[in-house]
């Protein structure tokens, strides 16, 4: 099972003071060792904060060493406190991850599963061991990346120094090439582990890979045997000269040294989008591709031609355009596609996703041995199946909005409603009989179309508590519940 590593202690923080303390003690020991090192590096740091040190890349051993030392000064530990809603109430949980500073104005790249929009407090520990707070610029669970910005005003005021790492070219990596993972495994700040690139093009996607959110549809992953443990998440995978070629994010639980990183060429583009727009907007047409591997003769195709359509989301642009499962997409806007192997699918998906939302894209499609036929499809905005979450504390109930993707996935008749994701014992929702998985479709006689509507009803309840009738469905059964103050 490929698991993401949210950090040393994602969900247990508040009730686990002992463990937390032990981590910080360990941190102090490490600090003692690192301080001397930092001093030794002072020469390198002379350029001061915010000035990236020009690394000469593949130059002499001396320049390589300089590049690597520079990188070490750009790796940070990230402590996140965030809201969770699953308990039927808003709770705080905290976790530890890693990150890498990639701009002089304090942009830190990390994993989406380390820092998400649920974060309420993000603290960055620089290589100098100084802590500074940071804010989330944006996240992109599809590639498991998030971008933070260090509170630069505070950093300047306190004269905090750090260096800026630079991206390398992940396309140029070769299997067997030496790489290093730098991060905070199990809270052990600034741990460097060494390994090689095990595979440059690992295919992995999961519909719930990043805290229930989809991931891996648009990129393949670097695989490395450099030790990656919980807390390494978001830290850089670097070459010997310190160039960031990946962002470490996953590992196989129970396996040894099977680690996975987002390639820097993906990370660089995502980071740019997050800087400019605070999000990565992608196009969606509703095709789920499958690898054609060995099906060419069945579909009467030349080898390395076309992409198999495994599934078409009901009601999606592709469905409306008339595409069907079993179709073969030969070309997208005239450009041939080759989806023979699973590893080739994410780039094709990414190509579709890269169109501006609302673009008319022409798919050239072969069906049942017939000649190719053009299907124009107008893209929609890609949405996650995970809708917005909220907790209504006095009801003891947390909910998630039914998203368009969720409704399609579950063949719901409409996108109305919120899914109950948690209830608190002995609170009104639980006492009424609501439980996790119920979909609330109507409340006080109104169809539930948005979370805001529910929040307004809740606000009125807080002002003047009264009994409220709720209609919910489970599987295909409708039940009525009464929320009582």
Partner 1 sequence: MMVDACSLFAAFRRGALALVLAACAVSASAADLPPLDRLFAERVRSVVAVEYFVETETDRHPSTVVGIVADAKGLVVLLDTAIPGWLPAAQLKDFLIYRPGTSDGAPADYLGQDHLTGWHFLRARGGLGEGVVPCTSYPTAEPVVGAEIWGVGIMGKDFEFQPYLQSGHVALVQRLPQQIGSSVTEIASPGAPVFTRAGELLGWAGASNAQERLLYLENERYTVGLQNPNATGSFILASEVLPYLDRVPAAPVGQPVPWLGVIGLQPVEREASEFLKLGNRSAVVISDVIADGPAARAGVQQRDIIVALEGRPLPRFSPARVATTFLEREILLRAPGDTLTLGLVRGGAPLEVTITIGRQPKPLKEAERRYFPRLGITLRESVLYDLISRRMEGSAERGVVANFVKPNTPAATAGLRANDLIMAIDNQPTVDYARAIEHMSAIEDDALRSEFVLLISRGAETQVIRVRLR
Looking at 79, 144, 241, 327, which residue is catalytic?
144
| Closer residue to partner 1, CB minimum distance, 313 or 380 | 313
Provide the minimum distance between the beta carbon of 197 and partner 1 in the complex, in angstroms, as a whole number.
30
Residues that bind partner 1 (CB under 8 A): 288, 290, 294-295, 298, 308, 310-314, 325-326, 368, 408-412, 433, 467, 469, 473, 475-482, 484
| Closer residue to partner 1, CB minimum distance, 278 or 314 | 314
Looking at 98, 116, 163, 233, which residue is catalytic?
233
Looking at 4, 79, 113, 163, which residue is catalytic?
113
Return d(Cα 445, Cα 443) in angstroms, integer.
Answer: 5
| Closer residue to partner 1, CB minimum distance, 97 or 286 | 286
| Closer residue to partner 1, CB minimum distance, 174 or 298 | 298
Q: Decide if 113 is catalytic.
A: yes
Q: Decide if 144 is catalytic.
A: yes
| Closer residue to partner 1, CB minimum distance, 37 or 480 | 480
Provide the minimum distance between the beta carbon of 1 and partner 1 in the complex, in angstroms, as a whole number.
18
Provide the minimum distance between the beta carbon of 438 and partner 1 in the complex, in angstroms, as a whole number.
12
| Closer residue to partner 1, CB minimum distance, 200 or 441 | 441
Provide the minimum distance between the beta carbon of 225 and partner 1 in the complex, in angstroms, as a whole number.
29
Q: Decide if 403 is catalytic.
A: no
Active site residues: 113, 144, 233
């Amino acid at each position: 099972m490929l698991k993401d590593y949210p950090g040393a202690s994602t969900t247990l923080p508040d009730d686990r003071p002992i463990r937390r303390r032990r981590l910080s003690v360990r941190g102090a020991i490490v600090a003692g060792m690192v301080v001397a090192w930092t001093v030794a590096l002072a020469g390198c740091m002379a350029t001061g904060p915010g000035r990236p040190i020009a690394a000469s890349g593949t130059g002499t051993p001396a320049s390589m060493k300089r590049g690597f030392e520079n990188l070490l000064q750009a790796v940070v530990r990230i402590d996140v406190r965030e809201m969770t809603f699953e308990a039927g109430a808003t709770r705080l949980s905290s976790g530890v991850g890693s990150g890498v500073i990639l701009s002089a104005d304090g942009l830190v790249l990390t994993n989406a599963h380390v820092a998400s929009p649920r974060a309420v407090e993000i603290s960055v520990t620089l290589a100098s061991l100084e802590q500074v707070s940071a804010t989330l610029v944006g996240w992109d669970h599809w590639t498991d990346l998030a971008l933070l910005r260090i509170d630069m005003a505070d950093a300047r005021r306190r004269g905090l120094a750090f260096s800026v790492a630079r991206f390398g070219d992940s396309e140029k990596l070769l299997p067997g090439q030496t790489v290093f993972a730098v991060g905070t495994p199990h809270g052990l700040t600034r741990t460097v582990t060494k390994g090689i690139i095990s595979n440059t093009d690992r295919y992995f996607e999961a519909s719930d890979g990043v805290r229930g959110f989809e991931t891996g549809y648009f990129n393949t992953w670097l695989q490395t045997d450099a030790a990656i443990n919980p807390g390494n998440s978001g830290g850089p995978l670097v070459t010997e000269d310190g160039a960031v070629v990946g962002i470490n994010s996953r590992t196989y639980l129970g396996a040894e040294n099977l680690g996975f990183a987002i390639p820097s060429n993906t990370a660089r583009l995502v980071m740019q989008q997050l800087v400019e727009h605070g999000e990565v907007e992608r196009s969606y047409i509703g095709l789920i591709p499958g690898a054609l591997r060995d099906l060419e003769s069945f579909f009467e195709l030349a080898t390395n031609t076309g992409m198999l359509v495994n599934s078409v989301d009901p009601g999606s642009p592709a469905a409306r355009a008339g595409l069907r499962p079993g179709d073969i997409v030969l070309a997208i806007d005239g450009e041939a596609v080759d989806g023979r192997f699973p590893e080739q699918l994410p780039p094709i998906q990414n190509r579709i996703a890269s169109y501006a939302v609302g673009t008319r894209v022409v798919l050239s499609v072969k069906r049942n041995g017939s000649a190719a036929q053009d299907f124009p499809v107008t893209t929609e905005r890609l949405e996650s199946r995970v809708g917005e979450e909220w907790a209504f504390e006095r009801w003891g109930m947390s909910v998630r909005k039914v998203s368009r993707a969720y409704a399609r996935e579950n063949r719901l008749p409409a996108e109305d409603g919120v899914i109950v994701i948690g209830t608190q014992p002995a609170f009104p929702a639980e006492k009424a009989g609501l439980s996790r998985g119920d979909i609330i479709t109507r409340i006080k006689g109104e169809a539930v179309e948005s979370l805001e509507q529910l929040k307004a009803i809740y606000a009125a309840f807080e002002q003047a508590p009264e009994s409220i009738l709720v209609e919910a469905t489970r599987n295909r059964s409708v039940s009525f519940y009464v929320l009582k103050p």
